[in-house]
Structure 1
Amino acid sequence: MIQPLRPLLVMGTRPEAIKMAPIVARCREHVAIDPIVCFTGQHDTMLRQVTDYFGIEPDVDLKLMEPGQSLTRLTARALTALDETMEKFHPDCVVAQGDTTSVLAAAMVAFYRRLPLVHVEAGLRTGDLSAPWPEEYNRRVASITTALHCAPTEFAAAALEREGVSRAAIRVTGNTVIDALLETADRERARADHWQAKHAYLGDRPMVLITAHRRENHGAGLDSVFAAIAQLAHDFPHVSFVFPVHLNPQVQRAAAEHLASVPNVQRLDPLPYPEFVWMMDRAKLIVSDSGGVQEEAPSLRRPVLALRETTERSEAVDVGAVRLVGCDPTKLIASVRQLLTDDAAYRAMQVEHSPFGDGTAAQQIIDWMLETWRPEHAAGELETSAVLAGGVASPS
């Protein structure tokens, strides 16, 4: 009798949990898969906001978060804890998403234990190891050891091929963030009255949603951005500027210094995922340095001004849904002013079809895993494949 495939599903941050939640759900629905869910605890509180919403409980929680720990210490502790987890559970493969420290550690330990890695959202590249930092490094290292590269777009797939990855080890699946977003948007639109009552200060006013957290923007970059937001709020008193402030002390300090006394800027605690999705859906436009927001907003037809000089989500820029403004206050002010006053410019950034998928990415990833390692249970129309990277042994 063929045993169910036992993947170790690793997640440590809120964005990872959002993008892994559809995979957890599809795994649990399939009789041929017995998933092992591992929380690293890299961002414990924010992770739990998402996993509670999607009904995900871990089989193991590594609780790696410590106040003020360095990236080196976090990485070292993650390596040890994940090694012990794989020793205990004996997974057939490891599934990790994106480019965090949790992903880096999962990729390294999987390689040391000769376990194949399934990399969700593979192939994102800026070409600059310093931006985003350290994420660009993390995802490049993960790709070296990956067996199944689940690329969100053809652009990402092409980036992997340029690095020497065989096309047979790459599949364009779309991005699982769209799976999660579409499900959540439907759920939260059904209870919009609840959120509108909670955020009664919005009334029927236009709203600009703001997020900012990237390490490379800390310091002078955030100071410039928040000063620009204060100026825009003064120039557009009828517009609400809503800013869920990241818990990082540097972000908190800069936001308080520049925005505390501005009446139409609402500084909020970080929002639970469903509430944030409702906020994106409610927003007129979004100002953000988040990669996830760049992926999500086009599906909601919301323009994004990205506080980035470069982006690994260039597809959204290419279709016109995202505009890069960096931390240049002049560019930011001019772009927000244009989108709040020029209907034609605004409509030009509302795309009909997201470049990041149609909401079926998780199922495509599960199908590929079964096709590769449990072909007896794969969908009938799929061809059997046994693609593996660099000499890593196939699970039995």
Structure 2
Amino acid sequence: MKRPRILAVFGTRPELIKSAPVLRALRAAGLKTVSCTTAQHRGLLDSAAAALSVRPDLDLGLMRSGQTPAQVAARVQRAFPPILAAQKPDLVLVQGDTTTASSCALASFERRVPVAHVEAGLRSFDARNPWPEELNRVLIDRVSSLRFAPTSRAKANLLREGLEDRSFLTGNTGLDALRWALRRPARQHPALKSLPPAARLILCTLHRRESFGTPLRRMLRALLTLADRRLDVRIAFLVHPNPDVRRAARVLTHPRILRIAPAPYPEFLSLLRRAEFLLTDSGGLQEEAPSLGKPVLVARSVTERPELLASGGGLLVGTDPKRILREACRLLDDRRLYRRMSSAGSPFGDGRASERIAGFIRWHFGLGSKPREWAS
């Protein structure tokens, strides 16, 4: 029997971070694996690739300044089919819910190439939140032959949609990447060198498209108010390279607010470990933070990761500045609340999701026994 050929595709920094341990596990399991990036987010992707020791075999270089999801999708739909024709994969592996993932999954399905979806089954049940990711992930799951759900709730979503065939509970590969990175030599972010030892650091990332405009401006005003009121606080605001975020973040000129460019993954982790808690609309940070005992204020109206809220490690605060201020001050002042949230633990995995995914793919091709699912 010939060795199956796996084509793993990613385009953004979060996809790469979560795909890196899967690539290592597939190759360790003896599966011929070719990695391909669309470079949907060029700069962010390259720094993460270097930090995680990933060198893509194929680079489509599709990013353009000021691009829209529709433009990215159109470029992927033109560029990816020739890759399929040349590589002749037996399986295309996509991660998450980006435009790269959905476009490559659809192009593969149209050419009868089986698709495997890592991080399947996440649902917010609101097509506009997050946008366009919610519809992307639904589409990917529909066209996939293998679906790897990170949590029992995600798998239950798949089952309710009639997608029980070859849907498996594995845990989240983002925790695999986090554990791998934490075993490497630590690299301190330069911003921490000037931080007073007693400063209480709040790490903040806000970049969701559905928040652009008035919601984002209101949240930034809340950060300014918080910095005014709390002399003991420093706020590290990671400025996403999206032009809408960069323009809005210009108002953050307060001496207790640090505007920070996207950092290499190891340096970012040093900020995360130093932070007291997070205010974020990021999906990946909702998964990483509880593993390090960091409470999360989720700046969204709904989350596709309700496990964080159910565990007690996160609070949904939306984009209302008054609620953001209130809950941030509660976490700063109520030590019982802080201890409860910081000790909630991670509901997202055990750091072995990638091994399970490689095992299920081997089994799918008749190369081994069926592994056990994660007992979440």
TM-score class, shorter: over 0.9
Q: Which residue of 2 aligns with 1:35?
A: 33
| One-letter amino acid matched to 1:209 | L
| One-letter amino acid matched to 1:48 | D
Distance change >3 Å, CA 35–CA 381, structure 1 → 2: closer
Q: Which residue of 2 aligns with 1:116?
A: 114
Identity within the alignment, %: 40
| One-letter amino acid matched to 1:308 | R
Q: Which residue of 2 aligns with 1:305?
A: 297
Counterpart Cα distance in 1 of 2:7 and 2:190: 41
Q: Which residue of 2 aligns with 1:172?
A: 169
| One-letter amino acid matched to 2:181 | T
Q: Which residue of 1 aligns with 2:153?
A: 155
Q: Which residue of 1 aligns with 2:284?
A: 292
| One-letter amino acid matched to 1:83 | P
Counterpart Cα distance in 2 of 1:196 and 1:323: 27
- Counterpart check, 1:268 vs 2:268: no
Q: Which residue of 2 aligns with 1:221?
A: 215
Counterpart Cα distance in 2 of 1:161 and 1:144: 12
Q: Which residue of 1 aligns with 2:144?
A: 146
Secondary structure, counterpart of 2:145 in structure 1? strand
Q: Which residue of 2 aligns with 1:203?
A: 196
Secondary structure, counterpart of 2:204 in structure 1? strand
Distance change >3 Å, CA 76–CA 180, structure 1 → 2: same
Counterpart Cα distance in 2 of 1:298 and 1:253: 30
Q: Which residue of 2 aligns with 1:281?
A: 273
Distance change >3 Å, CA 71–CA 382, structure 1 → 2: closer
Counterpart Cα distance in 2 of 1:198 and 1:372: 47
Matches within 5 A, 1:314-329: 314-329=306-321
Moved over 3 A (4+): 380-383
Matches within 5 A, 1:56-75: 56-75=54-73
CA drift of 1:251 comes to 0.9
Could you report, residue by residue, the CA deviation over 1:282-317 in whole angstroms, capped at 9, with x for unpaired residues?
Answer: 100000000110011111110000110100000001
CA drift of 1:110 comes to 1.2
Q: Is the 8 A contact 1:79 1:106 kept in 2?
A: yes
Secondary structure, counterpart of 1:4 in structure 2? coil
Secondary structure, counterpart of 1:150 in structure 2? strand
Q: Which residue of 2 aligns with 1:389?
A: none
Counterpart Cα distance in 1 of 2:190 and 2:138: 44
Normalised to the residue count of structure 2, the TM-score between the two structures is 0.96
Q: Which residue of 1 aligns with 2:357?
A: 365
Normalised to the residue count of structure 1, the TM-score between the two structures is 0.91
| 2:96 equivalent among 95, 98, 101 | 98
CA drift of 1:9 comes to 0.3
Could you report, residue by residue, the CA deviation over 1:326-378 in whole angstroms, capped at 9, with x for unpaired residues?
Answer: 110111001110111110010111235311000000000000000011x23x2
Q: Which residue of 2 aligns with 1:388?
A: none
Secondary structure, counterpart of 1:195 in structure 2? coil
Number of aligned positions between the proteins: 371
Q: Is the 8 A contact 2:360 2:370 kept in 1?
A: no
| One-letter amino acid matched to 1:21 | A
CA drift of 1:49 comes to 1.0
Q: Is the 8 A contact 1:222 1:327 kept in 2?
A: yes
Q: Is the 8 A contact 2:95 2:117 kept in 1?
A: yes
Counterpart Cα distance in 2 of 1:182 and 1:255: 31
CA drift of 1:382 comes to 3.8
Counterpart Cα distance in 2 of 1:137 and 1:196: 36
Q: Please, which runs of 5 or more residues in structure 1 have no aligned partner?
A: 384-396
CA drift of 1:232 comes to 0.5
CA drift of 1:30 comes to 2.7
- Counterpart check, 1:246 vs 2:268: no
| 1:343 equivalent among 335, 338, 343 | 335
| One-letter amino acid matched to 2:106 | M
**Which range moves more in the overlay, 233-242 or 68-77?**
68-77
Distance change >3 Å, CA 296–CA 58, structure 1 → 2: same
CA drift of 1:69 comes to 2.8
Q: Is the 8 A contact 2:131 2:209 kept in 1?
A: yes
Q: Please, which runs of 5 or more residues in structure 2 have no aligned partner?
A: none
Distance change >3 Å, CA 110–CA 281, structure 1 → 2: same
CA drift of 1:5 comes to 2.0
Could you report, residue by residue, the CA deviation over 1:40-88 in whole angstroms, capped at 9, with x for unpaired residues?
Answer: 1100110111111121111211111111233222111101211110101
Q: Which residue of 2 aligns with 1:12?
A: 11
Q: Is the 8 A contact 1:195 1:275 kept in 2?
A: yes
Counterpart Cα distance in 2 of 1:198 and 1:109: 43
CA drift of 1:281 comes to 1.1
Could you report, residue by residue, the CA deviation over 1:208-251 in whole angstroms, capped at 9, with x for unpaired residues?
Answer: 00001000001111111110000111111221111110111111
Q: Is the 8 A contact 1:185 1:278 kept in 2?
A: no
**Which range moves more in the overlay, 196-205 or 44-53?**
196-205
Counterpart Cα distance in 1 of 2:44 and 2:2: 35
